[in-house]
Amino acid sequence: MLAGLVAPVLLGGGLDAITWGMPFQSFGLNVYYNVVVGVAAHFSVNPPLYYLGLEWFAWGPFGLLIALCALRGGRALPLPLLAAVMIFVVHSLIGHKEERFVSAALPLIFTAAGLGSVLWANRLGARWWAAVPVGWLVASAVLAAAPSARIYWEHGRGSIAAMQLINADPHTCGVAVSPPESWSATGGYTYLRPGLALFEGPAEASTAVEAGYNAIIDHAGADFTAAGYRRARCWDDPLNRSGDVRHICVWQRPGLCVANAGVPLRATMDPFVAAAIRSARK
C-alpha cells in the first residue's frame, strides 16, 4: 500500500521535471496559490453541507434509497463506504468546493449500494428478486431524463460539433480560435485530422485577415462577414445548471492557407483565473 501511494507521487514529480523544468512544481504551486494566496477561496466558499446538496440535486429522492442501500452494504463490506465518507468529510472541511473533488467517492458509494441491493434482493426470494435490478433501471432512466441532467449530456457539445464540422470539410487547411483565451473550451486536436494547425484567432472582423487559416471557431459573438467569411453554423453550449450558455459559431472562407502566416494557438491563462489571482494577491 505504501509503494502504491509513493509511486504515483514520484511519477508526478518526474513528469513536472520534464514538462515544467522543476520536480513537483505543480504540487507546490497548487498549495501556494490555493492555501497561501487564496485563489480557490476567491472563486467561491461554500458551507460544509454543500456536497450533500449537490447529490440531492443530482439524485433527488433516489438519493435516500442509494444511501440506505449503501449503509446496508457497508455493514457487510465497510471499507468502500468508509473511504467514501472520508472523502466527503475531508473535502467538506475545505471552503472552496467543486463537484469533481468528491467524484472518487461515487464509485465506492455505488459499490456499497450495489452490495446492499443484492443482500436485500436475496431476502425477497426468487419470485421478487428481479424487481431490484428493474427498479434500479427505472431509477437510472428517470434521473437521466431529468432536467438537472441536461448539463451532463450537453456540456461541451458545441465545441465538439464545431470541430467535427470543420474536420469534415476537405477544404479546411487551418483553424483559428477566437478569442484565443477560449482555447480551453475547444476539443483541441482531438477532433481534427493530422495536418490542421490551430491558430490564435482575431477578436474583431477587421483583424480577420490572417492567411494561415480559413476557418474560425468564435466564442464571443463576433461578425467576420466583412473579412470574407461566412457563418456556417452555431450552437448553444450549456455551461452550468443555472441555464447559462456559451454561443459557438463556425466561420469559413473560400481559398487556401499560407504556411507560417498565423500565430500558433498557445495555452494561456484564462482571464477569469488571472483576475482571481490578481484580486487574491491584493
Are 45 and 95 in contact by the 8 Å Cβ rule? The answer is yes
Residue 217 Cα to chain centre, angstroms:
19
- Let me know how long the chain is: 282
pLDDT of residue 111: 95
CA-to-CA separations, 54 to 45, 68, 133, 145, 241, in angstroms, rounded: 14, 18, 25, 17, 11
Are 238 and 148 in contact by the 8 Å Cβ rule? The answer is no
pLDDT of residue 258: 87
pLDDT of residue 241: 64
Are 208 and 202 in contact by the 8 Å Cβ rule? The answer is yes
CA-closest candidate to residue 164, choices 200, 139, 189, 132: 189
Residue 146 Cα to chain centre, angstroms:
20
pLDDT in tens, the chain (282 residues): 898 989 999 999 999 999 988 999 999 988 888 888 888 888 789 999 999 988 888 888 899 999 999 999 999 999 999 999 999 999 999 999 998 999 999 999 999 999 999 998 888 877 788 888 898 999 999 989 888 787 788 888 888 999 999 999 999 999 999 888 888 888 888 889 988 889 998 866 655 567 889 999 998 888 898 888 999 999 988 766 666 778 899 999 998 898 878 888 887 776 667 776 677 666
Cα(86)–Cα(88) distance, integer angstroms:
5
Beta-carbon count within 10 A of 131 CB? 11
Maximum C-alpha span of the chain: 74
pTM: 0.69
pLDDT of residue 242: 64
